[in-house]
């Protein structure tokens, strides 16, 4: 099952998560990864726990959550007021079939895709190189999005690991693809 979640935060907020690469627009399905380089970031995951927490109060202390990110930095205001932000619980009973959706297209320009793989302490990330552009179009999108990063989320137990829920249930893992619109101010999550 392929589900779409459209993000609501502007690029400045997402840039903190290394999503700031230029774009392109070629076409060929079945992209393959040519180069993988594994790096581990030196920062401990605990350094970023406050930014990644989704609880308002932890042991009496304020912890930043998405609804407060706009207060931390005015450039992130949309994160405070957006209604469809990741992570989400997808209720399949609320999903509507759209017979007019076109097939999802992944365009690589006939080239192999390369990038650098990182272990962030929160997930494994493949950040695509600038020279090898991948564009995603079709489905519910009215224009092309440039693929920037692929993240693998997994947990230490089979019952948790995914960021998103399906009918209230977490899964052992998930793959998230992050792509920027051509205007570079809107991000698309495909998981």
Residue 13: CATH number of its domain: 3.10.200.10
110 in a structural domain: yes
And the tokens for 122? Answer: 């929160």
pLDDT of residue 150: 92
DSSP track, 56-78: SEETTEE---GGGHHHH-GGGHH
pLDDT of residue 65: 59
pLDDT of residue 63: 52
pLDDT mean over 85-92? 81
pLDDT mean over 93-107? 90
Q: Which of 19-23, 63-67, 123-127 has the highest mean pLDDT?
A: 123-127
pLDDT of residue 24: 34
109 in a structural domain: yes
Instruction: State the residue for tokens 């999108």.
Output: 141
The residue that leads in pLDDT, 110 or 26, is 110
Q: Which domain holds residue 119?
A: 4-45+88-190
Query: 81 and 70 in contact (C-beta within 8 Å)?
Result: yes
Q: Looking at the chain, which runs of residues are DSSP E strands?
A: 4-6, 38-40, 57-58, 61-62, 89-90, 102-107, 115-119, 124-128, 135-139, 145-154, 165-166, 173-181, 187-190
pLDDT of residue 26: 33
DSSP track, 17-43: TT---------BSS--B----EEE-SS
pLDDT of residue 20: 28
- The number of domains in the chain is 1
115 in a structural domain: yes
Exposure string over 90-122, b if 16+ CB within 10 A, otherwise e: beeeeeeeeeeeeeeebbbeeeebbbebbebee
pLDDT of residue 191: 58
pLDDT of residue 125: 93
60 in a structural domain: no
Per the confidence metrics, is the pTM higher than 0.75? no
């Amino acid at each position: 099952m392929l589900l779409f979640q459209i993000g609501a935060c502007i690029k400045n907020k997402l840039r903190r998560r290394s999503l700031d690469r230029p774009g392109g627009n070629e076409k060929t399905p079945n992209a393959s990864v040519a180069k993988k380089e594994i790096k581990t970031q030196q920062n401990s995951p605990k350094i970023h726990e406050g930014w990644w927490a989704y609880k308002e109060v932890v042991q009496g202390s304020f912890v930043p959550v998405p609804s407060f990110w706009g207060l931390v930095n005015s450039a992130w205001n949309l994160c405070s007021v957006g209604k469809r932000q990741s992570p989400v619980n997808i209720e399949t009973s609320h999903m509507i079939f759209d017979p007019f959706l076109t097939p999802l297209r992944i365009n690589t320009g006939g080239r192999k895709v390369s990038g650098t793989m990182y272990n962030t302490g929160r997930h494994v990330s493949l950040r695509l190189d600038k020279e090898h552009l991948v564009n995603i179009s079709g489905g519910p999108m009215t224009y092309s999005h440039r693929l920037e990063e692929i993240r693998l989320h997994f947990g230490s137990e089979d019952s948790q690991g995914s960021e998103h829920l399906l009918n209230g249930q977490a899964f052992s893992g998930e793959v998230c693809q992050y792509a920027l619109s051509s205007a570079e101010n809107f991000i698309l999550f495909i998981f």
